[in-house]
């Protein structure tokens, strides 16, 4: 499994060495703990637990782990998907890494923990723009705006200040509807009305854009300058310069929309520019139906392993809502094999504590308790998916999931009866809580031979 590198100059900033896998203060520390070795290990542990229980799925379950996801996945997932296609395989659904459980405030006024299951992801496109200029001797720079510095500067300024148009498209529109179910009472009717009232939709989209970061990225394509190059010598004005721009486009947008955006940014300088797509993904970003049986199955698995515990003793189901993943995953390679792709990482991220910055950043870490809950989520999901020969309506999926839950409970009780009890009360069920401002998340470790999620 590949992970992003750790640069030499940041090593001193890590609390524990980035490849130590240190377990300290209730966390597993190291590069890949969140993205995405921790998840892969939990998936394999869950599979092992099911095999030990004698689970015999009624349908084929394929586990595909790529080695080059962080650099596009062409030689990993790309080759595996091509092999399946060559064999005529069609997949009922694909489940990949994705968005997590957010605690500590998804949005202002929304502090409750919520599981975000991505029903689509933004499309990755990279473009190299080559700008041409007359050049000349550095002792006689042009003053008419034709220099490389002037032309590159104008383009860079417009990329930074003139953003692509705002749009509200699925799954972001589904996300807003999902928020209505967990929002404060005063906010619920406004969220429900966004879909139907154009002025309110216009306002809400602009509020999301003003929030910045991952929230703003849900309502527009993004463009990030990743490379700038010009010049060959200190006394020579360059005749050519290049800018590499990485775009992440919304579902429904194509390379043509990127081309038009670039021409808009270039303006009169377009006649002096060449545009080349260096990475171009033409497969459309399909949106999986959040009302369909596949989303219902994943939701059931999440809720089996995670519960929301408030300040009272009552335990409630964790809200699960659809989401647009702004990053990319290997799932894109399987888009021609299924129309149902869901992306979820079953661990919690505290938004207020800045945990999102740890992904691909310094001090990446995973709660030890979350590892146990990840294992339980995958165990439940694999069991449910393996028992469905056909995925029909959402109601059928939910009913089937309940039947599988009952069978799993019976199997767990039988397995527990055959083992030496690990706890003082003979129980192999263990719950864990993650404190949040809104209460806590409680997860059940499940019956797989360990008395505590901490021991997994």
Using CA atoms, how far residue 397 sits from 59, 77, 292, 368, 407, in Å, is 15, 28, 9, 31, 15
Cα 337–Cα 338–Cα 339 angle in degrees, nearest 5: 140
Domains and CATH numbers, the chain: 8-120+289-420 (3.40.630.10), 123-182+198-279 (3.30.70.360)
- Whether the per-residue pLDDT at 315 is higher than 70: the answer is no
Does 49 or 314 have the greater pLDDT score? 49
Other C-beta atoms closer than 10 Å to the C-beta of 54 total 8
Give the contacts of 303 (CB within 8 A, at least 6 positions apart): 317, 318, 320
pTM value is 0.84
Helix (H) or strand (E) holding 321: strand 320-325
The residue ranking higher by pLDDT, 103 or 388, is 103
pLDDT digits (tens, 9 = 90+) for 128-161: 999 999 999 999 999 999 999 999 999 999 999 9
* Alpha helices by DSSP H, 165-289: 172-179, 188-193, 198-211, 213-216, 255-266
Residue with tokens 């699960």: 320
Write the DSSP string, 395-445: HHHHHHHHHHHHHHHHHHHHHHHTS---STTS----EEEEEETTEEEEEE-
Mean pLDDT in the chain? 85
pLDDT score recorded for residue 378: 97
Give dist(CA 154, CA 147) in Å, integer.
11
The closest alpha carbon to 251, from 184, 334, 332, belongs to 332
- 33 near 381, Cβ under 8 Å? no
Torsion of CA 381, 387, 390, 396, to 10 degrees: -70
């Amino acid at each position: 499994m590949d992970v992003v590198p750790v640069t030499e100059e940041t090593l001193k900033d890590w609390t524990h060495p980035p490849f130590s896998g240190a377990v300290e203060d209730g966390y597993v520390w190291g590069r890949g703990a969140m993205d995405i070795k921790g998840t892969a290990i939990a998936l394999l542990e869950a599979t092992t637990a099911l095999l030990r229980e004698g689970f015999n799925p009624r349908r084929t379950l394929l586990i595909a782990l790529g080695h080059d996801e962080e650099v596009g996945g062409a030689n990993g997932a790309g080759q595996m998907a091509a092999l399946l296609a060559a064999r005529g395989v069609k997949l009922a659904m694909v489940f990949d890494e994705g968005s997590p459980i957010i605690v500590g405030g998804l949005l202002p006024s929304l502090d409750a923990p919520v599981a975000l299951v991505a029903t689509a992801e933004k499309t990755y496109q990279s473009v190299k723009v080559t700008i041409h200029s007359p050049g000349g001797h550095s002792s006689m720079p042009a003053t008419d705006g034709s220099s490389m510095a002037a032309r590159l500067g104008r383009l860079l300024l417009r990329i930074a200040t003139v953003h692509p148009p705002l749009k509200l498209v699925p799954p972001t529109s589904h996300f807003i509807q999902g928020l209505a179910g967990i929002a404060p009472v005063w906010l619920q009717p406004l969220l429900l009305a966004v879909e139907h009232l154009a002025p309110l939709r216009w306002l809400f989209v602009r509020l999301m854009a003003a929030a910045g970061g991952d929230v703003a990225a849900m309502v527009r394509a993004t463009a990030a300058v990743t490379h700038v190059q010009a010049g060959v010598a200190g006394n020579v004005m360059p005749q050519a310069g290049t800018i590499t721009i990485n775009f992440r486009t919304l579902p429904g947008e194509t390379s043509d929309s990127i081309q038009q955006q670039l021409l808009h940014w270039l303006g009169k300088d377009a006649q002096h520019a060449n545009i080349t797509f260096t990475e171009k993904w033409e497969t459309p970003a399909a949106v999986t139906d959040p009302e369909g049986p596949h989303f219902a199955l994943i939701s059931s698995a999440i809720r089996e392993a995670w519960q929301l515990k408030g300040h009272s003793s009552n335990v409630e189901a964790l809200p699960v809502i659809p989401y647009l993943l702004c990053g990319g995953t290997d799932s894109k390679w399987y888009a021609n094999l299924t129309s149902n792709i869901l992306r979820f990482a079953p661990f919690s991220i505290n938004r207020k504590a800045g945990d999102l910055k740890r992904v691909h950043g310094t001090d990446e870490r995973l709660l030890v308790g979350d590892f146990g809950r990840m294992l339980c989520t995958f165990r439940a999901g694999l069991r449910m998916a393996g028992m469905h020969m056909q995925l029909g309506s959402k109601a059928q999926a939910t009913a089937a999931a309940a039947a599988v839950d009952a069978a799993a409970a019976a199997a767990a009780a039988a397995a527990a009866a055959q083992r030496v009890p690990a706890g003082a009360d003979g129980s192999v069920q263990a719950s864990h809580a993650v404190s949040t401002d809104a209460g806590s998340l409680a997860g059940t470790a499940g019956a797989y031979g360990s008395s505590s999620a901490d021991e997994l």
